[in-house]
Amino acid sequence: MTLTVAIQMDPIERLRVAGDTGFALMLEAQARGHTLFTYTPDKLSMREGKVTAPIRPVTVRDVEGDHFSAGAEERTDLSTLDVVLLRQDPPFDMAYVSTTHMLERIHPKTLVVNDPFHVRNAPEKIFVTHFPELMPPTLITRDKAEIEAFRDEFGEIVMKPLYGHGGATVFKTSKTDPNFGSLYDLFANLFREPWVVQAYIKEISEGDKRIILIDGKAAGAVNRVPAVGDLRANMVRGGAARPTDLSKQELAICEAIGPALRERGLLLVGIDVIHGKLTEINVTAPTGVRAIKKLGGPDLAAQLWDVIEGKVGKGK
């Protein structure tokens, strides 16, 4: 089966391909004979219910700095394609939300991965709160008194923006931290939305495990260890990737959330687990696929395309 596949993504020219999950998916799709196109989300248009974008055909190769060739753009009705991969990076803002409303018009006739309706309704740091029994103590608020009471209860806490990504603007503070007032003011000026406040897990120094689930099933994992002197384990923030296996507790977490992911058409999901506690469920453009394979783990791009091909095949 040969599929026509468009990838909604940030400009392909800017990709750092060595660690990019979307690029891994493109390489695997091309190896299977599928026809690839790309477009950027700002080029989406909708008129009288028809969703179009100026897509351009691409071929890709795993060479940093020389990773693609592209043809001419042609504005195309996206409902005529087989698959659209939703792969632009957050922030999860109103521009992002608007694309999900438009892509919802073509799904599931054109399979959008992940389902745009549920991407919109499952932001990573809120969707995870459906499973409080799996999480560390967590507060979502921008009310200073609530944060101070939470800090008094747990001593050390982590604060991060509700719609942040990639470990940006993540802070640890404590009961006696004289910088708390300034930190609160900084957040209040930078962000209009509430913040996520969590009890600090000291075992973060041992790593923040990224587990990839495909169609609701645990498929592979990488342990991300923070750099010395940094709280954040994200690889874009200097975290080191280490091979890992899944514990019984981590497998139980995956089994607990798997049905909810499948019900929502969230085919590719990355969860973050610190010392057996679930902290995020990433559904927008989860990463980690290339790191897992590089460290000797399974080929998750191939697994995902097996699932996609099966779903498109059933729909035809």
State yes or no: pLDDT of 23 exceeds 90: yes
* Percentage of the chain exceeding pLDDT 90: 84
pLDDT > 90? residue 67: yes
Q: Which of 160, 209, 277, 290 is catalytic?
A: 160
Q: Within a 10 A sphere around the Cβ of 173, how many other Cβ atoms?
A: 19
277 catalytic residue (yes or no): no
pLDDT digits (tens, 9 = 90+) for 180-239: 999 899 888 888 889 999 999 999 989 999 999 999 999 999 999 987 766 655 655 557
> Can you tell me the mean pLDDT for 114-126?
93
Buried b (16+ CB within 10 A) or exposed e, 108-125: eebbbbbbbbbbbebbbb
d(CA 144, CA 163): 19
316 a catalytic residue: no
| pLDDT of res. 234 | 60
Q: Could you confirm whether 210 is annotated as catalytic?
A: yes
**Mean pLDDT calculated for residue range 61-77:** 97
pLDDT value, residue 166: 65
272 is catalytic: yes
Of these residues, 272, 277, 290, 309, which one is catalytic? 272
Which listed residue (87, 209, 210, 277) is catalytic? 210
Distance CA 118, CA 101 (A): 11
Average pLDDT of 276-305?
96
Quick one: average pLDDT of 169-178? Answer: 90
pTM as predicted: 0.93
Give the 3-state secondary structure of residue 9: coil
Work out the mean pLDDT of the chain and round it to a whole number: 93
What's the pLDDT score for residue 293?
Answer: 97
24, 290 in Cβ contact below 8 A?
yes
In the predicted structure, residue 125 carries a pLDDT above the cut 70: yes
Mean pLDDT, range 126-142, rounded to an integer: 96
Catalytic residue among 20, 124, 250, 280, which? 280
C-beta of residue 138 within 8 angstroms of C-beta of residue 132: yes
Give yes or no: 47 in active site.
Answer: no
Indicate which residue of 151, 209, 224, 264 is catalytic: 224
Stretch 261-285: mean pLDDT: 96
- Rounded CA-CA distance 282/144 in Å is 27
pLDDT over 70 (residue 240) = yes
Quick check: is 175 catalytic? no
Question: What is the rounded CA–CA span in Å between residue 105 and residue 48?
Answer: 11
290 a catalytic residue: no
**Beta strand pairing status for 83-86 and 4-8?**
parallel
Average pLDDT over residues 237-257: 91
Torsions phi, psi of 148, nearest 5?
A: -65, -40
Catalytic member of 151, 232, 264, 290: 232
Examine the pLDDT at 165 and tell me if it is beyond 90. no
CA pair distance 39, 33, nearest whole angstrom: 20
- Output the DSSP codes for 241-270: EE-----HHHHHHHHHHHHHHHHTT--EEE
pLDDT, mean of residues 75-81: 98
224 is catalytic: yes
- Choose among 77, 76, 81: nearest CA to 108: 81
Q: What is the pLDDT of residue 213?
A: 98
The one catalytic residue in 87, 125, 151, 264 is 125
User: pLDDT band for position 246 (50/70/90)?
Assistant: very high
